Chains A and B, each alone.
Chain A
Amino acid sequence: MIEDILHYIGMAFVFVGSLFFLLGTIGLIRMPDLYNRMQASTKTTTLGVLSFLVGVGLMELQWMIKLLIIALFVVLTAPVGASALARASYNAGIKLWEKSVVDKYKEREEK
């Protein structure tokens, strides 16, 4: 009985996770410059992986520990990779979108 309920909750988590993937990739297409794309894709796909893995873990309870380790690993490393890539791209000369309102990082370099 309780396993059936957990199974359906897990299905809901999996479905929400895959919707976040879809949102992330739509953001990847629609956003105007690299940094906004990075914002859209990094956040949504990280939460997507987290939700997806927890969902599968609820559907198959004995897998939960290993799935949580994978999820923890993804949540810890995805922002590190995104930050490193953002800084590297900025230093490699990729410009912000022309309608951006402020750029304090550039002011730092001019000092």
Chain B
Amino acid sequence: MSSETKSIPYLAVVLLLIWLGFVYQPGISMQSFIQELFVGIIVAVAVTILTHRHFEGLGVAYFHPRRVAYFIAFFFVFLWEMVKANLNMARIVLSPELPIKPGIVKVSTSLKQPAAKLFLGNAITLTPGTLTIDYDDGGAYIHWVEVKDEDMGRAGEIIKGRFERLLRGVFS
């Protein structure tokens, strides 16, 4: 039983939790909640059986506590960076002379799994002045509002920051 196969039950659990979040409403009675729970279990298992093969090879694997801890750390770092990004963007937008120096730089990444790359790309897009445009074999192409460094390594250190280390903890 490979680690990919082990991830299948967790997919059903995540789907069930999302379903319960959808059907919950204030003042729901116990009886109808139990009915919704049964329907949720059936739907989650059915969807898992039908679609689990599309999740293989993406790097989505089981919830080891260490991964969950890394993911929570990643989430809070991400929220903080996002607030900083927005204050920075507010400063740029509101200053009269528009202090921008845009360009597209290339950044290498050592992450391999598609899911890890997706999270890194999303995090980059939502944080200071950077927007992921495309991935290829060597790395990511990133549009940057204030280009501080054109070199691949140093730009990568500024842009990716702590995200890549945390994501490596989540997906390794």
Binding site for B on A (CB under 8 A): 20, 23, 26-27, 30-33, 35-36, 38-40, 42-44, 46-47, 62-63, 65-66, 68-69, 75-76, 78-80, 82-83, 86-87, 90, 96-97, 99-106, 108
For B106, the closest partner residue in chain A by CB is A104
For B140, the closest partner residue in chain A by CB is A83
Contact A97 B133 (CB under 8 A): no
Residues of B within 8 A of A108 (CB): 106, 136, 141
Please report the total number of B residues contacting A with Cβ < 8 Å: 40
30 A-B pairs with C-beta separation under 8 A: A20-B90, A23-B93, A30-B93, A30-B98, A31-B93, A33-B102, A35-B102, A36-B100, A36-B145, A39-B143, A40-B93, A42-B131, A43-B86, A46-B126, A47-B83, A63-B26, A79-B125, A86-B133, A90-B134, A99-B101, A100-B102, A100-B103, A100-B104, A101-B103, A102-B104, A104-B106, A105-B133, A105-B134, A106-B104, A108-B141
Q: Which of B83, B86, B122 has the most CB of A within 10 A?
A: B86
| B56: interface (CB < 8 Å) | no
| B156: interface (CB < 8 Å) | no
Residues of B within 8 A of A40 (CB): 89, 92-93
Contact B105 A104 (CB under 8 A): yes
Whole-angstrom CA separation of A101 from B130 in the bound complex: 15
The stretch that binds A, out of B5-13, B17-25, B37-45, B163-171, is B17-25
Contact A102 B86 (CB under 8 A): no
Given A79-B126, A102-B147, A105-B141, decide whether A39 and B131 contact each other with a Cβ distance below 8 A. yes
Contact A65 B24 (CB under 8 A): yes
For B98, the closest partner residue in chain A by CB is A30
For B90, the closest partner residue in chain A by CB is A23
Given A27-B89, A86-B143, decide whether A102 and B131 contact each other with a Cβ distance below 8 A. no
Residues of B within 8 A of A62 (CB): 26
